[in-house]
A and B are shown apart, each in its own frame.
Chain A
Amino acid sequence: MTVQTPGLIATPKPRHAPALRLRRLQEISLGYLLLAPALIILIVFEILPIFYGVGISMCDWKTGAALGVEGWQRWIAPCVSFIGIDSYTRAFTDPAMWHSLLVTATYSLISVPVQLGLGLLLAYLLFQKVRGQQAFRVLFFMPYITSTVASAAIWAFLYNPDKGLINSILTRFGVPEIRWLSDTTGIFQVLLKPAGVDLPSGLEGPSIAMLALIIYTTWVFVGYDITIFLAGLGNIPAELYDAAKVDGASGWTLFRHITFPLLSPTTFFLLMLTVIGTFKAFNHIWVMTQGGPGDATTTASIYIFKQLFQLNRYGYSAALSFILFFIILILTVFQNRFAGRRVVYD
């Protein structure tokens, strides 16, 4: 008698076949049964809304409102006027939409490297077995668990031009007062102003308000990146470092040739997460600037939300959401194709 190994299940003897088929059937049905609770919730509250959203985006809801439907029913009023893809074509010719995408891209292009760079630096330093590592870790992570409402209130106070602490420190060093959350001047312009340079509007760079927003969101999220980087660093075998040290490598060389390549799966994962996160970013921007001043920090999400709740353009905002969704999807696929290929898996 040989001991039956699980491998034998895959290649059964014929006379066991009916029993095994029953077992297989049981497994399939149990699988779906276990999935059912989660799937029902996700289908109702994630998938169905998407189809509903398609419907909404192809309707002219303003007409529905004109019919005198009021209260919540205006949101489910029958689609009185089917307009097909009009909302989508309109979106592509809407300068405000393009502007919001530009703001989103700016926000993402600055936030992502700053967050990941700072996260990697701090994680790498923490990983050098420094004293108080645990305490540092706890402190770095604290902003991430703080509610957006509370942290935005604190930061709005910090940024306050007249009574905020940031300005009262800066003025002590002779820096002129900065109107953090309400200044749309580009930062390059601000930096070059003392030299008497006036930049054309295209080259002014991201606005002061955008910079303030990025500092704030970096404060919120960098602890999360540090935590994941630390886990990734812990996964690199110590023998590799020891071997390289025997060969005389140290400091930057070690980081460049061992840490960085072996950390690439973690970095890649965080990159994907942060890019998606910055493109979807809403809460922190909304409570901090509400997209202002003007439209300086109106990212795509903020623009969609404003269309929805301030202008009641349900169809249009649904169409915009789809466009944003596809942009995020394309970005993710693109990253998977190109960055993903360069990741070193051990």
Chain B
Amino acid sequence: MNRDKLKSQLTNLGIHAILISGALFMVFPFAWMILGSLQTFHETTLGTFLPEQPMWSNYYDAIVAMNGAKPCVFDPAAPLDILTREKGCMIVRYFFNTMVMGLGTVLGVLTTGTLAGYAFARMNFPGRETLFKLLLATMMIPGELTLIPNYVFMVWFPTPESWIATALNLPNAEPHNWIDTYYALIIPWIATVFSIFLFRQFFRGIPNELFDAALLDGATHSRFLISVVLPLSKPVLITSALLTFLGSWNALMWPMLVTNSPEMRPIQVGLRSLITEAGTQTQLLLAGATVTIIPIIILYLFLQRWFVEGISNVGIRG
């Protein structure tokens, strides 16, 4: 008996040893980032681990560096000035743009995903399976292929307001394309095959009995969707929103391509230019990286259950 106990304790120890080394491997770069962001320039060149004295000023310097070497000011009399390049603070603007882009995309994805997911999961119409398979196949298309055509579309498409203005022959109406607008940052991303797939899987998991009961009561599909399915769908809505928001937050290539002015750029593009500008000033770019990572990590820590649940759902029923 005692030997068995010893054996199981040893196994436990072994399991923990592997898991802890795994966790260290995962966390170590983050620890290194935060510690590095607090070092002096001299310390970063020596491969130091712990800074002798934390240089919190690195964060201020990084924010100023992002702002074109000009200190950030907040004027309580004109709070919105903080979003302008001349009077404000670019990092605030970058975060603001990311929020607009993220929230807009999330709203779109939830709408299109719910509707299409429901149609694919619960309705009968000719071509349903073929259409769905076709959509899944588009997931295999390398992004480089659609990049140029989509960029060209951004140049072609008029913004709705400028289009209406020119159509109505309003004075000063000038056609304006989607480059440097939130349209370009949001609209191409408001429907993704992945989230349609997520919604479809979830809706297929709703018991048929509920559906049959509603049908007997004379409920139509739209009634059923609104009053039965949606209230049950909190998990898939939250998950899909989170994963979409995460994608927006971390987007780089597309925003870089379709924005020219710094005022329209999201935070990752801002970080990217800080990294190019900071050059060898490692402590500054690590401070910048920390600032952009912290909000998403906090969001994740609070809502991690939903991240995990959503990703798992795809796996199980996939």
Contacts and interface: CB of A to CB of B under 8 A. Distances in A.
A287 B272 CA distance: 9
Interface residues of B, number: 96
A283 to B, nearest CB: 7
Interface string B121-146: 00111101001000101111111111
A38 interface: yes
Nearest to B296: A145
Specify which of B120, B148, B314 lies most central, judged by the most chain A CB atoms within 10 Å of its CB: B148
A308 B316 contact: no
The secondary structure that dominates the B interface is helix
Contacts of B191: 37-39, 41-42
A87 interface: no
Contacts of A310: none
Contacts of A31: 119, 123-125, 128
A146 B36 contact: no
A93 B34 CA distance: 48
A6 B292 CA distance: 53
B144 A317 contact: yes
Contacts of A39: 116, 191
A142 B32 contact: no
Interface in A150-185: 150-151, 153-155, 157-158, 162-165, 167-168
B145 A75 contact: no
The bracket for how many chain A residues form the interface is 35 or more
Interface string B60-91: 00000000000000000000000000000000
The secondary structure that dominates the A interface is helix
Contact of B26 (A140, A168, A228): A140
A58 interface: no
A154 B29 contact: yes
B183 interface: no
Given A27-B123, A34-B123, A75-B152, A276 B139 contact: yes
Interface of B: 12, 15-16, 18-19, 22-23, 25-27, 29-30, 32-33, 36, 44-47, 49, 108, 111-113, 115-116, 118-120, 123-126, 128, 131, 135, 137-153, 155-156, 187-188, 190-191, 193, 196, 212, 215-216, 220-222, 246, 249-250, 252-253, 268, 271-272, 275, 282, 285-286, 289, 292-293, 296-297, 300-301, 304, 307-308, 311-316, 318
Which 3 residue pairs spanning A and B have beta carbons closest together?
A: A231-B312, A49-B149, A321-B145
Interface of A: 4-6, 26-28, 30-32, 34-35, 37-39, 41-42, 44-50, 52-53, 56, 72, 75-76, 118, 121-122, 125-126, 128, 130-131, 136-143, 145-151, 153-155, 157-158, 162-165, 167-168, 219, 223-224, 227-232, 234-235, 266, 269-270, 276, 280, 282-283, 287, 300-301, 304-305, 308, 314, 317-318, 321-322, 324-325, 328-329, 332
5 contacts: A27-B221, A146-B30, A147-B296, A150-B289, A266-B316
